Amino acid sequence: HIPMTFESGLYVVATPIGNLADMSQRAIDLLNAADLVAVEDSRVTGKLLHHLGIKKKMRRYNDHSGDVERESLVAAARGGVIALVSDAGTPLISDPGYKLVRSARAAGVPVFTIPGASAVTAALSICGLPTDRFLFAGFLPNKAKARAETLTELGQVKATLVFYEAGPRLAASLAAIADIYGDREVAVARELTKKFEEVVTGTAGELAARYAAQEPKGEIVLIIGPPADEVAAETGDVDAALQEALGTMSAAKAAGSIAKRFGLERNAVYARATELKAK
Ligand code: SAM
């Protein structure tokens, strides 16, 4: 492996969310090349660097850091390779970095991504809930009233909802979800990429009972499927599009075109097309 060279700038570097083997080669090369690594917690990143056999100067940084510290990192990135990492996963995703990236961009300092793991996308990719539209909303508020308000507001959104959650709060959150959303399908993705990785699905009520009986350990992503009317609306859209297509082409041609457009089984769409024609 020939290590890459990097031009100067701010590099936002994803690190693993549990399995150290998920560190990308480019992330390793960048950390090796970095003049300075901006970190959330030097103990956590220190362990990762030690595991990789990399010795680097680290500087603590988060979004509460002052303008002076931020400007100093931006200035350093103008003439050097500055890495930004968080404790795990992708920086800025419920983690520090937003203000730093914004400042660097405003100052005309190049900002590069070294992408990799994030618990949001890892959970969505295996939970079996719709992924075509999702809204990631970070952590739900701690207090019951604020949590209910947030859930009510997001209940209008016609998309899969994704939250970060903590074991001790999970059962209460699920109970609130059952209360406000009824029986929308829910998935709890836990300990992703680690030894006890699991995804449990069911209705919010079922899962609230399960986790009230036994508090889950480890790190959790909570995913809520879209509202039922959205699923219906989607089928409605297909019907409308199919009707329109049937106005100008044969059932077979219409089925082919609509199946392709919506990513559906051609045979199923053809069957629906003949049904609609018969009406
Ligand atoms: N920036 C990170 C990312 O891209 O995934 C997330 C940082 S956030 C402060 C940490 C939260 O992410 C945890 O409390 C948990 O909800 C979720 N998380 C992180 N690693 C996880 C894992 N291996 N399995 C499930 N959830 C995880």
pLDDT value, residue 228:
78
Helix axes 251-262, 228-246, angle to 10 degrees: 140
pLDDT value, residue 230:
58
CA distances from 84 to 9, 87, 89 (A): 11, 10, 12
List pLDDT tens digits, range 181-196: 998 999 999 999 999 9
> What single-letter DSSP state applies at residue 17?
S
Q: Which residues' Cβ are closer than 6 Å to ligand 1?
A: 17-18, 86, 88-90, 93-95, 118-119, 164-166, 189-194, 219-221
Q: DSSP per residue over 99-125, as a string?
A: HHHHHHHHTT--EEEE----HHHHHHH
Is residue 16's pLDDT more than 60? yes
Question: Best of 90, 118, 220 to mutate for ligand 1, by most ligand atoms within 8 A of CB?
Answer: 220
> What single-letter DSSP state applies at residue 89?
B
pLDDT band at residue 261 under the 50/70/90 scheme: confident
CA angle 29, 18, 30 (to 5 degrees): 10
Is residue 235's pLDDT more than 90? no
The predicted model gives 233-259 an average pLDDT of 86
- Bridge partners of 220, per DSSP, are 165, 190
List pLDDT tens digits, range 192-221: 999 999 999 999 999 999 999 999 999 999
Is residue 3's pLDDT more than 80? no
Is residue 232's pLDDT more than 60? no
Edge-to-edge strand ranges of the sheet holding 36-39 = 58-60, 36-39, 81-84, 9-13, 111-114
What number does the ligand 1 atom closest to the CA of 91 have? Answer: 1
pLDDT value, residue 110:
98
Q: What is the pTM of this model?
A: 0.83
pLDDT value, residue 6:
96
